[in-house]
Amino acid sequence: AKKPAGVPEAAPKPIGQVGVVGAGLMASQLALVFAQHLQVPVVLTDIEQQRVDKGLSYIEQQVSKQVDKGRMTAEQGQALTGLISGSTDKSVYAEADFVIEAVFEEISVKKQVFAELEEIISPEAILATNTSSLSVTEMAADLKHPERVIGFHFFNPVAVMPLVEIARTPQTAQTPIATAFDLAATLRKTPVLTKDSTAFVVNRVLLRMMAEIQKAFDDGTDAAVADEALKPLGLPMSPFDLLAMVGIPVAQHVTESLRSSFGERFYVSKNLQALIDAGVTKIWSTDDSGNKYISQSTQQLME
Ligand code: 3HC
């Protein structure tokens, strides 16, 4: 098959073990796709055992759904979950060949994680980040080996969305790029090589649309009207359902990064901030007959 644009001639690094840092929604989904398609052990960590347990139980649920759908036997499901283990101790990454972080979307946190990992992982291991919007170059800047760092950005839901954005920094070496392309193929994803630019390509475009919708929302357009009016565009999911799935705080963070890189064309919604401050995670509620509505308390927060 023809190689996609930008793939270096370097041989990809064989991956015998994968590390995932974090056990949140993206991290757990990543651990699962890596284990499923690479069939290698995947170690996952988070700062609290409770979070690790939550991630592992999410993975078990997803696997049992696949078993229920007849996509794999119960034995295969068990073998798959058996490949994934969790810990609060990052020393489990000592044997990993490829470690991807999906921790909180905050540059200082990501830099701290990479600095810790550098002390643990083997000299040959590749360090990847699933960041949506932060600078991969900056994340690697203070490391002893910035050349092994690469952006490897997936979309939610990971199991279904076909694309992965591979972001190289000016310092990224050939082997991590070749390995990322090879991994993407094994994961049955479509890789594209992007520059290390805020929110790469997809979120830069998607969030521009979302920011405009949120501006209309702050200006008084009803969420129901916005969702309905956009239906003819054939979006796979209503904008406000997408926000709930990605997570309103995550979306807001990405928009803030885009605003600081590209200025006013990215609008940071006051209404969404009010919802975040109040801990509201979705705009829509659903009644017993499956009809969507906005609760009075949510409505009040937005006025
Ligand atoms: N986890 C795992 N599998 C899921 C899933 C989830 N959360 N949601 C849906 N699926 C699976 C279903 O199980 C089903 O699988 P099957 O065919 O094996 O039974 C398949 O996806 C199709 O699902 P449905 O028939 O229920 O639903 P739809 O046809 O409506 O498709 C969708 C669901 C693929 C999620 C579609 O609505 C969609 O594409 N939505 C837009 C998603 C999107 O834009 N994501 C990008 C967000 S931005 C991002 O993630 C970047 C971040 O960094 C900020």
- The DSSP secondary structure of 84-112, one letter per residue, reads EEEES-GGGGGG-SEEEE---S-HHHHHH
| pLDDT, tens only, 222-248 | 888 888 889 899 999 988 889 989 999
CA-to-CA distance for 239 and 228, rounded, in angstroms? 10
| pLDDT, tens only, 268-286 | 999 999 999 999 988 888 8
Residues 6+ apart with CB under 8 A from 252: 268, 269, 272, 273, 276
* Prediction pTM value: 0.93
Long-range contacts of 219-227 (CB under 8 A, 24+ apart): 223/283, 223/284, 223/294, 224/292, 224/294
Structural domains present in the chain: 18-195 (3.40.50.720), 203-301 (1.10.1040.10)
Distance 235 CA to ligand 1 centre (A): 12
| Residues known to be catalytic | 153
CA-to-CA distance for 228 and 224, rounded, in angstroms? 6
Residue whose CA lies nearest to ligand 1 atom number 32: 236
Distance 200 CA to ligand 1 centre (A): 21
Q: How many CA atoms lie within 13 A of 302 on its CB side?
A: 24
CA-to-CA distance for 124 and 177, rounded, in angstroms? 14
pLDDT at 290: 85
Residue whose CA lies nearest to ligand 1 atom number 39: 236
Complex ipTM, two decimals?
Answer: 0.94
**Chain mean pLDDT for the chain:** 94
